[in-house]
Amino acid sequence: MDLLNLDVARQYLGVLLQGLLITVGLTLSVITMSCALAIPVALARMSPNRLIRTPVSAYVELIRATPLLLQLVYIYYVLPSFGIRLPGMAAAVIGLTLNYTAYLSEVYRGGIKAVNQGQWQAAAALGMTDTLAFRRIILPQAIRIVIPSLGNYFISLFKDTALCSVVGVQELMFKGQIVSARSFQYFTIYTLTGILYLAVGYPSALLVRWLESISSRGYSRRKRR
Amino acid sequence: MIELVDIHKSFGSLEVLRGVSLTVGTGEVICIIGPSGSGKSTLLRCINHLENPERGAIRIAGHSVYYDLVDGVRQPHSKQRIAEVRAKLGMVFQSFNLFPHLTALENIIEAPVHVGGMSKKDASARALELMRRVGLEDKADYYPEEMSGGQQQRTAIARALAMGPAAMLFDEPTSALDPELVHEVLEVMRRLRDDGMTMIIVTHEMNFARQVANRILFMDRGVIVEEDSPERLFGSPREQRTRAFLKNVLER
């Protein structure tokens, strides 16, 4: 028997592409929300006020110390016991966003701390309040510092969406499992699934590397080689 | 113009300022000299509230920097009030502290636009005028890291001037510069003095201090040891500690 069955591949490519579309959509929506939400979380973790800092730190540590798979399953299967019933897609988006926000907040925290203290002082000396200094002076520099890390989290999120198959989201991995079980063409279907992940993941990785090279470049008017 | 009364400041158990009083008149140029760790920079940073002294009072043009007395009770200033006081004082740092993600012009208009509420157009016109004053009219679109240290520090001076400060504070403005670049920065400061700017300058440039200052303060271990005209302080210092310091510095 031929391992690779091109007819099967052709037959199920459309279904798998549908899954890929959901995978990509899930990745983009979660990374967008996480990138935005992680900034206030990072600030809360650096707050001098313990009432703000402690609960937020507890959230970040809880997320970082437990498996993402458990978090997803918990939201989908345990929360209904408390009357909170979520569709798989909502559970996936919420779970992944909670998870990635926690990790990205740590990235931002490092980035904000890495901005030279003299920048705060110069802003203060010009009469800027802390809020204004953060928004205009510190954050733009911090973002530049964290771009490479954000890029890597973006790639890993793309792959982590596969875990959402356990809460019934019909993303690429889910489709792959269904289709291979139906056709018994495990080699063909899973290889094709892998190729589809690669087809998006590898260009994304290249894009991230390009972003890295930009952000490691100095601030300059001229394009440098 | 600027009045400091009995300023005390500690970092942990280390007493950095132990009772410093000083009055600076309008248009006066004060140079503060002294060994490192003598509290010179800390004193300067207390004036615009970058450090908060434990004791003492600072008044700028009659307004208290840290608190108001309301019926004899101290009311600490709000963050907004502190920011307003700071905007009245230009500060120039040893390490320039220009904003690296903004061009020279953007550095200069940042505070007038976002703190002072000036339009971008007016602020830019003013900024270009200031850049001309510091001799950098052709560098408006340069980012800090594309400029030499001397150019960066001159931009920083223009940035500090952009808020129209009543006085300028200089914290060792030439200490981070290559020797051949020191001159251009001092030249800009000299012109500021000629324009009548009130300045307090912490510096190791003894010749410059001698030439531009109305008064020299010698600080050591958190106190002002000696305070006099440049001629007398450099020519015939009264205190033993001043003599020892000057001998060390000038004979290098």
How do residues A58-107 score in pLDDT, each as one tens digit? Answer: 999 999 999 999 999 999 999 999 999 999 999 999 999 999 999 999 99
Does A136 contact B103 at a Cβ distance shorter than 8 Å?
Answer: no
* CA-based nearest distance B242→chain A, Å: 31
Does A141 contact B101 at a Cβ distance shorter than 8 Å?
Answer: yes
For residues A118-143, average pLDDT: 95
For residues A101-121, average pLDDT: 97
Cβ–Cβ contact B100 with A under 8 A: yes
- Model confidence at A225, in pLDDT bands (50, 70, 90)? very low
The pLDDT, as a whole number, for residue A220 is 76
The pLDDT, as a whole number, for residue A222 is 56
Chunked into runs of 10 residues, chain B (252 residues) has average pLDDT values of: 93 93 95 94 93 89 76 78 86 96 96 96 97 95 95 97 95 94 95 96 94 95 95 94 92 72
* CA-based nearest distance A207→chain B, Å: 23
Does A129 contact B91 at a Cβ distance shorter than 8 Å?
Answer: no
Does B160 contact A125 at a Cβ distance shorter than 8 Å?
Answer: yes
The pLDDT, as a whole number, for residue A1 is 54
Q: Which residue of A has its CA nearest to B78?
A: A129
The pLDDT, as a whole number, for residue B73 is 76
Residue A165 contacts residue A65 (beta carbons within 8 Å): no
**Percent of all residues in chain A with a pLDDT value above 70, rounded to a whole number:** 97
pLDDT in tens, A190-223: 999 999 999 999 999 999 999 888 877 778 765 4
Question: Looking at the partner chain, which of B50, B114, B144 has a beta carbon nearest the beta carbon of A125?
Answer: B50
**Percent of all residues in chain A with a pLDDT value above 90, rounded to a whole number:** 87
* CA-based nearest distance B159→chain A, Å: 8
Does A221 contact B143 at a Cβ distance shorter than 8 Å?
Answer: yes
Distance CA A120, CA B228 (A): 35
Query: CA nearest B95: which of B3, B173, B20?
Result: B173
Distance CA B34, CA A198 (A): 65
* CA-based nearest distance B211→chain A, Å: 27
The pLDDT, as a whole number, for residue B252 is 66
Q: Which residues contact B198 (CB under 8 A, 6 or more apart)?
A: B1, B2, B24, B25, B26, B27, B28, B29, B166, B167, B168
| pTM score, whole prediction | 0.87
The pLDDT, as a whole number, for residue A212 is 84
Instruction: List the alpha helices (DSSP H) in B48-200.
Output: 79-87, 104-114, 120-133, 149-161, 179-194
The answer to whether residue A157 scores a pLDDT higher than 90 is: yes
Cβ–Cβ contact A118 with B under 8 A: yes
Distance CA B198, CA B166 (A): 7
Instruction: List the alpha helices (DSSP H) in A81-138.
Output: 88-114, 117-125, 130-133
Question: Looking at the partner chain, which of A119, A128, A221 has a beta carbon nearest the beta carbon of B97?
Answer: A119
- DSSP result, B143-179: -GGGS-HHHHHHHHHHHHHTT--SEEEEESTTTTS-H
How many contacts, defined by CB atoms under 8 Å, are there between A and B? Answer: 79
In three-state form (DSSP H/G/I as H, E/B as E, the rest C), the secondary structure along A126-179 is CCCCHHHHHHHHHHHHHHHHHHHHHHHHHHHHHHHHHHHHHHCCCCHHHHHHHH
Distance CA A31, CA A204 (A): 13
* CA A128 and chain centroid, separation: 33
CA dihedral B176, B133, B65, B112 (to 10 degrees): -110
The pLDDT, as a whole number, for residue B239 is 94
Q: How crowded is residue A55: how many other Cβ atoms within 10 Å of its Cβ?
A: 11
Query: If contacts are CB pairs under 8 Å, which of residues 124-153 in chain A contact chain B?
Result: 124-130, 132, 136-137, 140-141, 144
Pairing relationship of beta strands B29-33 and B198-202 according to DSSP bridges: parallel
Does B103 contact A221 at a Cβ distance shorter than 8 Å?
Answer: yes
Does A126 contact B87 at a Cβ distance shorter than 8 Å?
Answer: yes
B130 class by beta-carbon count within 10 Å (0-12 exposed, 13-18 middle, 19+ buried): buried
Token code pair at residue A63: 């997320």
Question: Looking at the partner chain, which of B91, B95, B99 has a beta carbon nearest the beta carbon of A125?
Answer: B91
* CA-based nearest distance A216→chain B, Å: 13
B contact test, residue of A126, A141, A214 with most B CBs within 10 A: A126
The pLDDT, as a whole number, for residue A223 is 45
Does A128 contact B114 at a Cβ distance shorter than 8 Å?
Answer: yes
Distance CA A151, CA B110 (A): 30
Chain A residues lying within 8 Å of B139, measured CB to CB: none
ipTM of the complex model: 0.91
